[in-house]
Structure 1
Amino acid sequence: MDLFTLPPLAFLLDLTTRALLALTDTFAPLTGGLAAALAVIAVTLVVRLALIPVGISQARAEQTRARLAPRLRLLQERWRKNPERLQRETMQLYRDENTSPTAGCLPLLAQAPIVGLLYAVFLHPTVGRHANTLLTHDLLGVPLGRSLIGALTTGTTDATTLVVFASLVLVIAGVAELTRRLLRPATDPSAPTWMTGMVGVLQFSTAVVALFVPLAAALYLTVTTVWTLGQRLVLRRRYPLPA
């Protein structure tokens, strides 16, 4: 079942498609064939600007977790033989500080519907009972609705497709590595070891996702990943972690 046949989602799909087409028409006189790709970038920047308050909240939460880390270690040492008491004391500490172990996850959750909509826009040949003309647009000759995995499985891969997707994936992976090196995460000492390791793995998961989604969504992921690194570097200076 196609969820975008449901009236609310169909409306959002039609609205998103119309907005991208309007931006594409606006950019076309100046940028020609790059207009649709630039429309996706423009949408990305608008979304990221709207999420700046959420990014500030995330930076504050990270600073708070880092500040609480020594107290969390003390709780862990004191109640290590009583897991239930440790859990209660830990959650009470978070409540007292008006934060939670999962604080700061909202930016990822907030962007998921945007990526899903872009994915849907470039997969539907018809939207609102009209032909989806966005599917006729490309980036350097690669259709915006093409995914690398889809091209590989259907035998439609060419050198340009490989180069474009490889470039985006390398940028995403490079930014993830810079994030790992420049932004030490504020880890919860009460968290299990596997969870700490998973945080590092997730930093590179976006590069994997970019292989499966249409080029338009991969372009969105690339721009938002670069933006996120820049924003976090600025906010880290505003909300530094304890030494």
Structure 2
Amino acid sequence: MGNLGAIGHFIMTPLYYAISAVLVAWHSLLSLVLPADGGMSWVLSIIGLTLVIRAALIPLFVKQIKSSRNMQLIQPKVKELQKKYGHDREKLAQETMKLYKESGTNPFASCLPILIQMPIFLALFRLLDHAAKNQQGNGFLTDSLAKSFGDSEIFGVMKINATFVSPAGSVAVQVLAAFLVVAMTATTFTTQRQLMSKNMPSDAMSGPYAQQQKMLLYVLPVVFAVGGIAFPIGVLFYWTTSNLWTMGQQFYVIRNNPAPGTPAFTAKAERDRAKAARHDAPAAAEVVESEQPEQERRSAQRQQPRRQTRQQRRKSGGGRPTDQPNSEGEQQ
């Protein structure tokens, strides 16, 4: 147990320093406009920390999206392998891994952002928990800053280190904690549901990847709901903000770069056609307007009176006098 503790401390210490550095930097910046010991300055510092962490994880998210897309696209081939080698589990596993390798797909890449965030989440939880309960700093979070955090209150009635199950005698804490837990659970469910309903091909909805997504769709919200009631308010702000970032980021990717053969891909194609039609309409109008002067000139030329013959001019009264000879030297 002592060795495991030493290993855990060795892994968590760099995270303590990294997280506390960003947290203290945000707090120093916000203290210029907000009370340094106020709960809002610490809450906004936690939200700022969340944004920095999620921005740093964007390359990992892009890798996750590519891997998820490849997993969706190769599902028909996976089904063929299952039909062909369903009786031989070892051969099926070999051929499936070969298919993953050829397509450049990592079946575990979709879990990377969550796996990477868990140590960060745990480090933040430990950092804030020690600061709140023991008023002990860690990393760049000094003891004085830890005391400031532990004593800070939101709107003067809710301690930032309070939880739903330990509200420090404040009903407002339980109301806010319940709201954040519900928001955290709802955003998790919405994000997974959005991925399955809009960015998965119809032929991939019954494969093993779809089963994995369906499991995450219901398991993750339950995990967050059960565990969330024990999280401090500050940690709930972190996780809810992180979920909102994930939902917005995924919405942007699905809308602008959807996987082929999905409802989102069809919707994007329709938007592109409508955009092209709107773009072509003004150009066509300009061409019509540029052709109008030329058409008017030609129309004017066509409307000029035709030249009349001598006989026609005589009938209309516009000919020469009758006593003058005509072209044959005769007189009228």
Question: TM over 0.5, yes or no?
Answer: yes
Secondary structure of 1:212's match? Answer: coil
Q: Which one of 152, 168, 174 corresponds to residue 186 of structure 2? A: 174
1:130 correspondence with 2:130 = no
Question: Relative to structure 1, is the Cα distance of residues 74 and 171 closer, same or farther in structure 2, using a 3 angstrom cutoff?
Answer: same
Aligned length: 239
| Contact kept in structure 1, 2:161 and 2:233, CA below 8 Å | yes
Name the counterpart of 2:162. 146
Identity in percent: 23
Q: Which one of 199, 209, 223 corresponds to residue 216 of structure 2? A: 199
Aligned AA for 2:164?
L
Secondary structure of 1:30's match? Answer: coil
CA drift of 1:183 comes to: 1.9
Aligned AA for 1:240?
P
Q: Which one of 212, 227, 230 corresponds to residue 248 of structure 2? A: 230
User: Cα RMSD (Å) of the superposition?
Assistant: 2.8
1:163 correspondence with 2:175 = yes
CA drift of 1:237 comes to: 2.7
Cα deviation per residue 1:180-230 (whole Å; 9 max; x = unaligned)?
432217568563997454222234133333222222111110000000011
Question: Relative to structure 1, is the Cα distance of residues 6 and 71 closer, same or farther in structure 2, using a 3 angstrom cutoff?
Answer: closer
Aligned AA for 1:26?
L
Larger Rg: 2
Q: Which stretch has the larger CA shift, 77-86 or 15-24? A: 15-24
Point out which structure has higher relative CO (alpha carbons under 8 A, 6+ apart).
1
CA drift of 1:18 comes to: 5.3
Name the counterpart of 1:75. 81
| In 2: Cα distance, 1:20 partner to 1:111 partner | 16
| Contact kept in structure 1, 2:180 and 2:237, CA below 8 Å | yes
CA drift of 1:143 comes to: 2.1
Q: Which one of 55, 66, 71 corresponds to residue 65 of structure 1? A: 71
Q: Which stretch has the larger CA shift, 17-26 or 42-51? A: 17-26
| Contact kept in structure 2, 1:148 and 1:161, CA below 8 Å | yes
Name the counterpart of 2:112. 106
| Contact kept in structure 1, 2:158 and 2:173, CA below 8 Å | yes
Aligned AA for 1:159?
V
| In 1: Cα distance, 2:209 partner to 2:256 partner | 29
TM value normalised by structure 2 = 0.64
Q: Which stretch has the larger CA shift, 186-195 or 90-99? A: 186-195
Question: Relative to structure 1, is the Cα distance of residues 7 and 233 closer, same or farther in structure 2, using a 3 angstrom cutoff?
Answer: closer
The runs of 5 or more residues in structure 2 that have no matched partner are 263-332
